[in-house]
Amino acid sequence: MRRLGEPGEVGGSLMLAAGLVGLAANLVSLRLLRAGRHESLNVRGAYLEVLGDLLGSVAVVAAAVVIAVTGWQRADAVASITIGVLIVPRAIALLRDVARVLLEGAPAEVSVERVREHLEAVPGVVAVHDLHAWTITSGVPVLSAHVVVADGAAAAGRCAVLDELQACLAGHFDVEHSTLQIEPASHVRDHPEGAAHA
C-alpha cells in the first residue's frame, strides 16, 4: 500500500521487456501443464501457479504500457494488487480439492445415488447398500459397496455379476478401483439392512 501512496520510479521500457519475457515463458509452461491438470493435485498446483504468473505477466505488461504512455507510476502497485486478488480464488479451489482428498470425501463428479441406480440395474442385482465413495488422490475415485444378488444369479456365478458391476462403474463413472461384496438374497434376509457382514 505504501507504493500506492509513494510510488518509486519505474522504468517503463525495462518493465515491459521483463513482462514480455515472463509472458512468453509462462505461456509455454502453461501449455505443457494443461493436459495433466485434472489428473494430479501436484500438476494442478503447478498449473495454477503458472497461471497466476501468466496473469501477473499480463498485469506487468499492461502497467508498463500505462507508465510509458502516461507516466503514472502507481500503475505498478495497482498491477501487484490485481495479481494478488486473482490468485486468491484459485488458491481456495486448490485447497478445497486437497481437503477433499485428505478427508476422504466423496468425489464431486460421482453421485452416490446415481451409482446405486446403475448398479441396481445390472441383471441379477436385487439391492445395493453400505455404498461409499471417496478419493485417494486427485482423479482417482474409489468405491465400496455390499451388493445383494438373487440366489439364482449367485449360484450361476458371482464372478460374472462382479465383472458386470465393475464394467458399469468403469464405463459410467470412471471408477477403476472398487471393492464389492456380493451377498445372496437369502443371506441378507438373516441380517438387518445396512448391518456389517463378515
pLDDT for 180 beyond 60: yes
The answer to whether the beta carbons of residues 143 and 131 sit under 8 Å apart is yes
Domains of the chain: which residue ranges? 2-102, 112-188
Amino acid at site 26:
N
Average pLDDT of span 161-165: 88
| CATH code of domain 112-188 | 3.30.70.1350
Listed range (38-47, 75-84, 127-136, 160-169) with the worst mean pLDDT: 38-47
- Residue 125 to residue 158: CA distance in whole angstroms: 11
Whole-number pLDDT of residue 104: 63
Residue spans of alpha helices (H) in the chain: 2-5, 12-34, 41-70, 75-102, 112-120, 151-156, 158-173, 185-188
Element (H or E) spanning 35, and its range? Answer: none
Tell me the torsion sign for CA atoms 37, 39, 40, 43.
negative
Return d(Cα 176, Cα 163) in angstroms, integer: 12
Residues near 17 by Cβ (< 8 Å), separated by ≥ 6? none
Taking residues 124-137, what's their average pLDDT?
Answer: 86
The separation between CA 185 and the C-alpha centre of its own chain, rounded to angstroms, equals: 38
- The structure's pTM equals 0.50
- pLDDT tens track for 41-86: 677 778 877 888 888 888 888 888 888 888 787 887 888 788 778 7
C-alpha cell at 190: 438373516
Per-residue confidence (pLDDT) for residue 191, from 0 to 100: 47
Contacts of 55 (CB under 8 A, 6+ apart): 83, 86, 87
- CA 16 distance to own-chain centroid: 35
